[in-house]
């Protein structure tokens, strides 16, 4: 079957039958596309690790369509964690909670904690509510590579290893969810996202800790190299970029810049948006484009810092860490 074609049958109905049969579905969420499987089917969960080339000790996020389902997957939930659910679900926030004893450790990478979120993409919610149970969904990319933000990216990453891609258009946000360890206060930020520490603190009435001092939880986004294109990527300040441009050119470089820098014709420029929301929305698609154009080098002008930009910095630093 052509995974991307528009079909006679309702795409939600197809996705539902694939999940029920233990298959893998490309799932649009508001952050990035996920690779979804029935969280209660161990054989299906195993297929995810194989399809992504992901080590078995890296835990998966369970996605649910209704808040009350959280009790199927987690126990002893702290009241402040409920406050976060009420404020940000459905939306780009993953909570790490104490795992329910009935949940397979295959999902949690052997740990006693579990990551749970309720996405807000309408198709994801529709599918999850129709399914009535949780699905595990890591980002639908090869381990360590750029997360997919469009259906065609999922097809490119996974080819025949995904059974059906639910066509949900380009994702709204473009980078992965914020992850908070919400087992006991003070809560800890494990991965930055478009829900910022300040937004969390406003709801909690206290600051969240930053992950530097955090626990030994395994978060693959915590590996120094992650979210990386195949082409080497270098992050430069605006001044460094200007100096580089003036130096005699050695490599066929693609430049992602957000400020108006005059570029000689030998460089291939990609103008990035100036707002953090628009930048995040574009980032992975532009890195993919740079990979396709087979540049020798991707140069990225460091965007501003603070607020929503921090999550973008985090992704760029990890993308650069591969070199
Ligand atoms: O936005 C997102 O979160 C996307 C969409 C598809 O929902 N999903 C996503 O999943 O980014 P993944 O697997 O690519 O990244 C999830 C991160 C991993 O780094 C994983 O280690 C961490 O969440 N994680 C999951 N369960 C955890 C747990 N119990 N303890 C600590 N970290 C956990
Ligand atoms: Mg991922």
C-alpha–C-alpha distance, residues 54 and 58, integer Å: 7
pTM of the model as a whole: 0.94
The CATH number assigned to the domain with range 11-210 reads 3.90.870.10
pLDDT exceeds cutoff 60 at 278: yes
pLDDT tens column, 24-55 = 999 999 999 999 999 999 999 999 999 999 99
Q: Which atom of ligand 1 is nearest to the CA of 109?
A: 29
* Nearest protein Cα to ligand 1, atom 32: 219
Q: Domain segments of the chain: what residues?
A: 11-210, 233-320
pLDDT exceeds cutoff 90 at 181: yes
Mean pLDDT of 14-33: 98
137 lines ligand 1 (CB under 6 A): yes
Reading the block at residue 60, the tokens are: 């998966």
The CATH number assigned to the domain with range 233-320 reads 3.40.50.11030
Alpha helix segments (H runs only) across 53-120: 70-73, 79-88
Beta strands in the chain (DSSP E): 25-27, 34-38, 61-63, 93-98, 113-117, 135-136, 164-165, 178-181, 188-191, 209-210, 233-236, 253-257, 268-271, 297-301
Q: Which atom of ligand 1 is nearest to the CA of 117?
A: 7
- The more confident residue out of 127 and 245 is 127
pLDDT tens column, 117-151 = 999 999 999 999 999 999 999 999 999 999 999 99
pLDDT tens column, 208-239 = 998 764 445 555 555 667 889 999 999 999 99
Query: Comparing C-alpha atoms, which of 222, 221, 180 is closest to residue 203?
Result: 180
257 lines ligand 1 (CB under 6 A): no
94 lines ligand 1 (CB under 6 A): yes
Q: Which atom of ligand 1 is nearest to the CA of 107?
A: 26
Do the beta carbons of residue 229 and residue 253 sit within 8 Å?
no
- The more confident residue out of 250 and 9 is 9
């Amino acid at each position: 079957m052509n995974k991307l074609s528009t079909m006679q049958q309702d795409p939600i109905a197809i996705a539902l039958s694939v999940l029920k049969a233990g298959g893998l579905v490309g799932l649009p969420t508001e952050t990035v596309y996920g690779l979804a499987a029935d969280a209660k089917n161990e054989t299906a969960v195993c297929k995810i690790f194989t399809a992504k080339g992901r080590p078995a000790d890296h835990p998966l996020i369970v996605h649910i369509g209704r808040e009350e389902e959280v009790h199927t997957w987690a126990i002893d939930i702290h009241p402040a964690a409920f406050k976060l659910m009420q404020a940000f679900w459905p939306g780009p926030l993953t909570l790490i909670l104490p795992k329910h004893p009935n949940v397979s450790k295959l999902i949690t990478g052997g740990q006693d904690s579990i990551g749970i979120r309720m996405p807000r993409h309408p198709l994801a919610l529709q599918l999850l509510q129709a399914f009535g149970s949780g699905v595990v969904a890591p980002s639908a990319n090869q381990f360590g590579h750029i997360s997919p933000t469009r259906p065609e990216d999922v097809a490119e990453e996974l080819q025949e290893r995904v059974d059906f891609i639910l066509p949900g258009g380009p994702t709204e946000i473009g980078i992965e969810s914020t992850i908070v360890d919400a087992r006991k206060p003070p809560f800890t930020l494990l991965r930055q996202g478009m829900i910022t520490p300040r937004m969390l603190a406003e709801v909690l009435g206290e600051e969240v800790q930053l992950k530097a001092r955090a626990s030994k939880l395994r978060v693959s986004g915590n590996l120094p190299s992650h979210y990386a294109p195949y082409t080497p990527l270098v992050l430069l300040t605006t001044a460094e970029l200007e100096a580089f441009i003036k130096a005699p050119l050695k490599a066929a470089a693609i430049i992602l810049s957000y400020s108006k820098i005059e570029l000689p014709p030998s460089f291939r420029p990609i103008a990035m948006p100036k707002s953090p929301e628009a930048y995040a929305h574009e980032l992975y698609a532009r890195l993919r484009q740079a990979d396709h154009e087979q540049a020798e080098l991707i140069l990225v002008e460091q965007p501003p810092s603070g607020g929503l930009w921090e999550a973008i910095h985090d992704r760029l630093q990890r993308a650069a860490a591969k070199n």
